Chain A
């Protein structure tokens, strides 16, 4: 085979390949095949000319260059044609839906919990996590609720049939499902000196028959501040700030005396009804107010239990039900829906 027939063959093969080009990708492949710098057919041809007899070299060189130019022009023309033709023949129905990327949702109680954590963390609080199975001491006794205290009725408790290992002292195995997250506050104070500024979110358990507003398991956040000179005015200021940050800045907040064994004085906090803005409706029983949380100044007996000097240190604590807040904020009508995990509910919440 000589160079002349090579050129003819390449030209013929190129014509075939050119006809077959349908896409930009094909075009690139053909360009690489013929014009590639190292392996390309034309480059190989050019190199082979170096060995051709001297008398035919100039003519062959000319033909080869012509071939290269023709291929370049043909491909360039093809490229233009391709780009022009795509506009009409390959147009898409852009209104068809795209491919869905699966994306799940956080649970609404998680969303609310994280919002509450964020608000308190910006106020300098540390978020704690603790065990859901507790011992009697951390759930009740250290909180000024000795055995047979009538206040234990306020928190009807699930007991384990036999104790299981707890998280701390082996002499204090877990015997019950915690009725509040206060045990974590006790554990924290047992191992830290003041100042204390913590919140303790988590699931808690009370032996309530499920209904629209009660669930035997629900989520709660408790908070605790201890230092020298902490006052009830601080309690009010912090909680008003929190409630207005969480609900809205127009929310009215009122404090009423109440009773909890672990706080003295104790208060219940009400906010202006989120449904009727305080004008009175069925949710707030026409009072205009919704009970939202319980709080108070830490009882000195609690400080004594953890070895803090109640004369030197004062503090306050609060507890808020996340489910209740979620019901109010998202206007969900039944607390049990939170534990059905029905995707038709879950998928209404942000990611």
Chain B
């Protein structure tokens, strides 16, 4: 809302400079975004336009009078609203009739007819409109806009002679009907859109924009002026479906003043007469079948202090509210001080006691309220388990050289499909910003890949990223996941040794470390996943016992075709893993009990066996663990060999076994019998040969 200070001064005394005024309004909740100097007035006084930000709850301040009312409360000066103009007597037959189909959508309709002589507005009107960013059109249209700016109430002027009959009907738009609005756009009307119609056609989209057919032009001789009140919700819906916001609809949808139409009409006719733009014909029609009862709110003095934390002096309350337009009456026989406050119809935002307390707080000044700290009346809760979980994840991953990424929850459909088993499971947005962000991610991998590509394109070869975030699927909704991605060198470049590129086992190592951090073991199994390279893809399961496995994710090398399609450059493969975070928790550490530190030495034995190439190493390890007996404390895979001396289709696996007993030093014979047992089991189950 742009307010010309000289116009404001006409309606209220402003006892301070323009800068001070701007500052004071800002502190009362009307942020002055800019003070634009204007040419000085004829009396030499400085002038300026204040560009005010009006919050959506204060449509009454989308007017000079509304701001003047605030200024009058601020400085305790008198408000000088334009007085009601004594209109000349006219004969008693109105020249038009008004019918309203649904009084809920249009509770009040005020209309008047005037003969006009169209021409330019007088310079003072034109200047005030221009200062308010409204383009002057002609004297009649300008008056309707002037009245809107001054009173806050939108008006519209129709070319009376272009109405088929002087019978105004406020009704819903006909199905299939259209109207050409004054901006020249042909608009399709819907039944839920309210229109102003003559007996033949719609002449305006009510409260939003007039029709081109009945537009006031240079040749117009008679006009019908409209000042009505329209249902805010209906205006808002119609404006949205037409994609149209006007100065009028902006005010109506926030809530106009149902008492204002006659005042606005009177003011418009006054201006027509005094600027010699026209003469009223016949009386004003005021269709207002059921005026609403004014809202009365009880305001208790002690409640103000209870909410604000500071008792406000009683003598401040009633005068402040009175100046703001409320009618305040002290309750005569109440135990505590309380007022009955009648809310003026222009204050559509005030419905309950708190709304009045805000008015008191605003004019008292927020900065004058004390600062206190609320007492704790119950011990605070311990941090939720997810806090420890996410903290541990971040520590482990940053410790492994991974940096944290945050990527958008919405991705391209093609990307989502590449990582989704079932495209029916992808959740799309109804109103995406673009095709590149049209569905919710079913996996964190595409977003992380895009971030990796971003870095690769900026001369980064070695990239390690992770993200903790939500993924979305139609069948099971939102869930928390972790994704990691790595490419480039496995070790930092150092002058002492050659580089090694990351491979599948590097990312397996990261995931293993991560799960160890949570005190859980994992098992990997060869699997097939659309976006990962076949043969270098595994499912990850949490291993509670050998039999009890909870699947938590997938790991592998990203298909180069997928990565290239997303824009990846360079030849280094990209390895990724994604884990469901729900099964991971740090709860178990609360119940952790330490084992005694070993008192007796351990013995190690190395063991090489030749087995079929297709046998998963995990099975061999499983057999060793199961057959070695209780003194086996660790198994490590130390070598894998194929080639000379090894049969085709076979592989040699070497293990280092560590044995230890908690209560004695093991003898060679004991360890040897364990090794023999292992070899027997390996031979029986896997037909393994010792080497």
Contact = CB atoms under 8 A, between A and B. Distances in A.
A255 B31 CA distance: 12
Contacts of A347: 403
Contact of B236 (A148, A232, A240): A148
B465 A232 contact: no
A184 to B, nearest CB: 12
Interface stretch (A18-26, A154-162, A276-284): A154-162
A195 B460 CA distance: 51
B57 interface: yes
Interface stretch (B3-11, B86-94, B489-497): B489-497
B76 to A, nearest CB: 19
B463 to A, nearest CB: 7
A129 B449 CA distance: 26
A317 interface: no
Interface in A64-115: 96-97, 99-107, 109-110
Given A96-B495, A158-B429, A165 B56 contact: no
A234 B55 contact: no
B383 A225 contact: no
Given A127-B387, A159-B429, A160-B430, A230 B374 contact: yes
B236 A150 contact: yes
Contacts of B427: 133, 160-162, 164
A341 B477 CA distance: 26
Interface of A: 96-97, 99-107, 109-110, 117, 121, 123-129, 131-133, 148, 150-151, 153-154, 158-162, 164-167, 174, 177, 195, 197, 203, 205, 207, 209-210, 216-217, 219, 225, 227, 229-234, 236-238, 240-241, 254-259, 261, 264-267, 297, 299-300, 314, 338-344, 346-347, 351
Given A231-B309, A343-B463, A237 B371 contact: yes
Interface in B428-449: 428-433, 437, 440
B190 to A, nearest CB: 16
B308 A232 contact: yes
Nearest to B477: A165
Contacts of A128: 384
Given A124-B376, A227-B374, A238-B373, A300 B366 contact: no
A265 B464 contact: no
Interface string B448-484: 0001001100101001111001101111111000000
Per CB-CB distance, the 3 closest pairs between chain A and chain B, nearest first, are: A102-B401, A233-B309, A231-B309
Given A99-B494, A234-B373, 8 more contacts: A123-B373, A128-B384, A151-B56, A153-B56, A158-B430, A161-B430, A164-B478, A297-B354
Contacts of B458: 342, 344
Interface in B12-56: 26-29, 31, 55-56
A209 B433 contact: yes
B399 interface: yes
A220 B469 CA distance: 15
Given A99-B496, A160-B428, A233-B310, A104 B403 contact: yes
Chain A interface main SS type: mixed
A341 B483 CA distance: 14
B236 to A, nearest CB: 5
Interface string B590-631: 000000000000000000000000000000000000000000
B36 to A, nearest CB: 14
B369 interface: yes
A204 to B, nearest CB: 10
A107 B404 contact: yes
Given A174-B478, A233-B369, A106 B380 contact: no
Given A126-B380, A133-B477, A164-B474, A100 B409 contact: no
Interface in B353-403: 354-355, 357-358, 361-362, 366-367, 369-378, 380-381, 383-384, 386-387, 394, 397-403
A259 B348 CA distance: 14
A265 to B, nearest CB: 4
A6 to B, nearest CB: 28
Contact of A232 (B307, B383, B454, B492): B307
A87 B186 CA distance: 95
